Structure formats: C-alpha cells, structure tokens
Chains A and B, each alone.
Chain A
C-alpha cells in the first residue's frame, strides 16, 4: 500500500466523508477542505431520507445500484452509525392499486402482504390498507446522526477539517453540485422535504406510498420524528421549498395516516442533488484531480461503494469495477 503521499478532499458532504473514512481506514493521510465549515446543513445529504433501499430504488434506476448498494448497511454499521434493518413497506391508496401491482412486478425479493400482515409489521397502518408490498432486505439510517458519527470518528483520527487553504497531494473533489463549475455534465435535481413530529403514529421502518402524481416516503427518525420526502424536480435551485411541493407532501402524508394532520412541523427543507445525465455516480479522473460525484438521490446508499472503489484506485491502483472514467488522456 502506498500511503506516502497525502490527499485533500474537497467537500464534506456524504461523498467527501465516506471517501475520507475509507482512505483513513487504510492509513492514508487526508485533509478536508470545505468553505462552509464542519459537516452540516450546507450539504444536500443533510436533507437525505437515509433509506438504504437498493431494491426499491432500482425500480426507477439501473440494476447496478443494487449490487453496489447492498453493502451500504454493513458499511454504515461498521462506522458506528445506527442502522435499522427491517425492510421497506410499500403501499398505495385505493385507486392507485395499479401502481402497486406494477411496482411489485418490477421489484425483486418483494412479498405481498394482506391487511393482517401489514398490521403485524406496522400496527399504525392496521386496517388502513388491504394489501402492501414488503421488501425485507432493506435498511435505513438517520443521515444527520450518521454524518455526525463519521465526522467525530474522522476527528478522532486527527483528520483536519479546514475552511480554506492549499490542497496537499492528490485532490479528491467531492463538492457535489458546487463542482458543476468544472463538470459540464453535472446538473441539480431539486428535492423538498418536511420533518414532522407526531405522538399519534408510529412506524418502525420506511413506508413508501406510491402515487401517480404525489409519491411519498416516510422515514421514522425516532422520538416521534418523521422524515417526509421527497420531490424530484429538474432544477438546480438549492433551497426555496415551494408551497405546492410541501402541500403535496403533507397531503400525501395525511392520506397515508390521518394522524399526520395533527403532527407538528419541525422543518421544511430543500436542496439540489448533484446528478449526471444517467443519474449514476462517477469516479472521474480529469486534469488535476479525481472527482467523486453525481450521487443523485443515493448518497448514503452508494457513497460507501464509491468510497471503497476510490480508495482502491488511489491507494492500490485497482480500476473501479463501475462508474469510472479516465479523461486525463483526452
């Protein structure tokens, strides 16, 4: 292992932090530079749902995200993050049952549940739905807590978090959408979320409600807090959640369970996810640096695999098995 030279990681969102964790774990010297300061709300990963749900995601993405996302739950657990592995429940309202049928046909490892089966998994949804699809092998985490865990463990390993300064050694550019200044094919896809607290409803796993116009996922964060997300709009606008989007999310949540009508709104947020045209991430060598970017809506799901491949490449010279581009020769 060649660890004689050091690396500078630009950006401390989920991409930068997962790469930093993989590099330092293998003994590389890493420093982080992010003008916005410590990991936190300036990165779009702050607003992530934290679902480690490769099968569900693969319904509208390439199959490759399943094989590369499968290890994410284990990776996050190994970092000390609290990972809950009890699957994903997928439902649809009465007249949208066709959506559920299509979904079940397209997702692998799915199990149909009847009303009784739904009630056993999520008592709060007892008698609310006649059938549902359950994908057992999926997990979820709290993104903010997980980011904090990575931050503190990197701090314990004396990784400096700087707001400016010169880069040492090789540059690993993980700036997300900010790197669009150098990556012409990177675009933003806006997502809006609402965080609520309710004492009247309890879920133990992410619940997705399919809908032709207003799809919703609800991720329990503990202590009665729920993440409601997320819109997907072709816009690079960071921030500015719209009334319409928030209304749609809240309406959908209310339709999922009327108790959400009485929930307290804790936060409304929006950010833009960095994405390449195929919505798949890249490890891209170009000119003076290597980019790790384009995680789209899969930062926590695919970050670990991307970080592992990046570390394998930079420390062992092994070519990543996916999503790699070397543009230095062009």
Chain B
C-alpha cells in the first residue's frame, strides 16, 4: 500500500506506484476537499493508477470530524473502505485510542469497512476487532518519522495474539529494511508514504521497498532460525576440540 501525498509530482507518484507493485492507494480527503470537489483533478490522477483506493481521514482530531470526512470519502470515491485516523496528539500525531473506538463503532454501524490506524496496544486492537474491524493497521512509529519498528516486542505479540487477522504496518517506516523486518514478523502488508515520496528518487525507493517486502514475506514463510548464543559452524571444523 502506498500513500499519495508529498510526491514531487503526480507523474513521480505514478512511477512510484508502477515500480512498487502496490495494490492499494490511500488518499487524504480532508484537506484537498476544501469546499466541493476542488481536489478532483488530483483524485482522477490517482484513480488512473488502476489500484484500489483507500480513502483516509488524515488530520482529523475528533470523532465527529472523522465521521464527516468518512462520509464525504464514501461519496467521492464510491467505496465503503476507510482508513480511519483519529489523531490524539497534534505533535506526535499518535492515534487517539478512545476516539478511534468511538468513531469505529459509528462507522461500522453506518456500513463502512474500517481499517483503523492504531497503536500496537493489544487491548485496543482486541476492542477494534470486537467492533467488527477485519483489518488492523498498527503503527511502527509516529507518522513520517521513518524510525522503523519502535516496539518490535509489541508488534510480535499483537501478531501472535491475532494470527488470523489481516494486519498492515502503517506509519513510521523509513527504510526498506524496516519493511522487511515487519514482514518477517508475519505482517501481511506495509503502508508507506513519506519514506517513498520524500526519497531523492521516489520510484527507485518504491522498488527497493517492494523487494524488501517480498524478501520479508518469503523469509517469514521460510521459518527463519531463532538467534542463539552458541556459535555453530556450518562446516565442521575437523581436528579442533570445540566444547
């Protein structure tokens, strides 16, 4: 999955999509909307990418704002899919777990397929699943920081507790190695934006991420070894005592 903001141009955005092989594009509705459909030229370019559109509620700080934006998104993009963001802190942009639960409840009742942008908190994620979410989108680190997997233990634990739920690492990835790590944990996908859009060569970075995601997923399916303390040569060393 790729976000569509911050690219040098829509042409570069399209190149990045082609080379990433991403199947889903997230689109921010709120700011471009202004009044009416002022952003429709850009949205038309995104729709030309030929991938599924996942509108988001980026920048919404309250339940009401998020719900209104979601309804607008449903009309504009003719989809029930929604990446739900309810921002709880203006500086770190971290999710507001309480607002997220409330907005999820309202929107699922209204027929939306909610993809909640959440923290890796096990209890929060459990509640979101109870409400009917079929996909979870936990963060790796705050949006746009590129810090990678901030709490690998938490993400590993989340994966282990809900092995059958589709989970996408959303936010905070900076380098392809971060994406590979996320996939090695058994996550199903990653969502990227800043890491690709703000790279010196976004299209090349998109491809680098694609390869990393593929490598990470393959590694997960290949059941990687666990680390161990004892060195074990893969070729026996003859004639030396090793105890």
Contacts and interface: CB of A to CB of B under 8 A. Distances in A.
Which residue, A233, A240, A242, has most C-beta atoms of chain B within 10 A? A233
Contacts of A281: none
A213 B92 CA distance: 12
Interface string B190-210: 000010000010000000000
A212 interface: yes
Nearest to B194: A212
A242 B34 contact: yes
Interface string B3-24: 0000011111010000000000
Which residue, B11, B35, B38, B144, has most C-beta atoms of chain A within 10 A? B38
Interface stretch (B39-47, B121-129, B227-235): B39-47
Contacts of A187: 10, 41-42, 45
Interface in A273-294: 275, 277-280
B64 interface: no
A234 interface: yes
A237 B38 contact: yes
A235 interface: yes
A61 interface: yes
Contact of A278 (B9, B31, B33, B38): B9
Interface in B138-164: 144
Interface string A169-202: 0000000000010000001101000000000000
Nearest to B9: A279
Q: How large is the interface on A (under 10, 10 to 19, 20 to 34, 35 or more residues)?
A: 20 to 34
Interface string B21-37: 00000000001111110
Nearest to B44: A187
A278 B144 CA distance: 24
B144 A212 contact: yes
Contacts of A60: 8
A236 interface: yes
B34 A240 contact: yes
A279 B8 contact: yes
Contacts of B34: 190, 233, 235, 237, 240, 242
A106 interface: yes
A278 B194 CA distance: 19
A237 B34 CA distance: 8
Interface string B48-81: 0000000000000000000000000000000000
Judged by DSSP, the binding face of B is helix
A277 B44 CA distance: 11
Nearest to B42: A234
A106 B14 CA distance: 22
Interface in B71-116: none
A20 to B, nearest CB: 28
A277 B8 contact: no
Given A106-B200, A187-B42, A234-B42, A240 B8 contact: no
A277 B10 contact: yes
B42 A61 contact: no
Contacts of A61: 8-9
A237 B35 contact: yes
B192 to A, nearest CB: 15
A188 B12 CA distance: 17
A66 to B, nearest CB: 14
B9 A277 contact: yes
B38 A190 contact: yes
Given A187-B41, A234-B42, A277 B14 contact: yes
Interface in A32-88: 60-61
Contact of B31 (A233, A236, A277): A233
Given A212-B144, A235-B34, A278 B11 contact: yes
Contact of B32 (A235, A240, A277): A235
B11 A188 contact: no
Contact of A188 (B31, B35, B41): B41
A237 B200 CA distance: 29
Nearest to A180: B41
A114 B33 CA distance: 42
B38 A277 contact: no
Nearest to A272: B38
Which residue, B14, B32, B36, has most C-beta atoms of chain A within 10 A? B32
24 contacts: A180-B41, A187-B10, A188-B41, A190-B34, A190-B38, A212-B144, A212-B194, A233-B31, A233-B32, A234-B32, A234-B39, A235-B31, A235-B34, A235-B39, A235-B42, A237-B35, A237-B36, A240-B35, A242-B34, A244-B31, A278-B9, A278-B10, A278-B12, A279-B11
Interface of B: 8-12, 14, 31-36, 38-42, 45, 144, 194, 200
9 closest cross-chain pairs (CB), A and B: A187-B41, A234-B42, A278-B11, A279-B9, A237-B38, A235-B38, A277-B10, A277-B11, A237-B34
Interface of A: 60-61, 106, 180, 187-188, 190, 212-213, 233-237, 240, 242, 244, 275, 277-280
